Amino acid sequence: MQAKRLSGRVAFVTGAGSGIGYSCAQRFADEGAVVVGLDVNECDEWEAIESQSPGSRFVVADVCDLPAQEALVAETVDAHGRLDIVVTAAGVAGGGPVHAIPIEEWDRVQNINLRGTFLSVRAALPPMMEQHSGSVITVASVEGLEGTEGGSTYNASKGGVVLLTKNIAMDYGRLGIRANSICPGFIETPLFHSVFSDKAFDKYRERIRDQHKLGRFGRSEELAGAAFFLASDDSSFVTGQCLVVDGGFTAGHRVGFTELMGLE
The set of catalytic residues is 154
**Helix 152-172 with 116-131: angle, nearest 10 deg:** 10
Which residues contact residue 243 at a Cβ distance below 8 angstroms, ignoring those fewer than 6 apart? Answer: 180, 181, 182, 183, 226, 229, 230
* Cβ-contact 45, 85 below 8 angstroms: no
DSSP, res 262: T
Distances 27 to 23, 162, 190 between C-alpha atoms, Å: 6, 23, 18
Distance, in Å, from the CA atom of 16 to the CA atom of 156, rounded to the nearest integer, reads 23
d(CA 184, CA 137): 13
* C-alpha to C-alpha distance for 82 and 147, rounded to whole angstroms: 39
What are the DSSP E strand ranges found in 52-166?
A: 57-60, 85-88, 134-139
Name the nearest CA neighbour of 223 among 18, 4, 39. 18
Write the CB contacts of 228 (distance below 8 Å, at least 6 apart in sequence): 5, 6, 24, 27, 28, 31
Beta carbons of 217 and 13 less than 8 angstroms apart: no
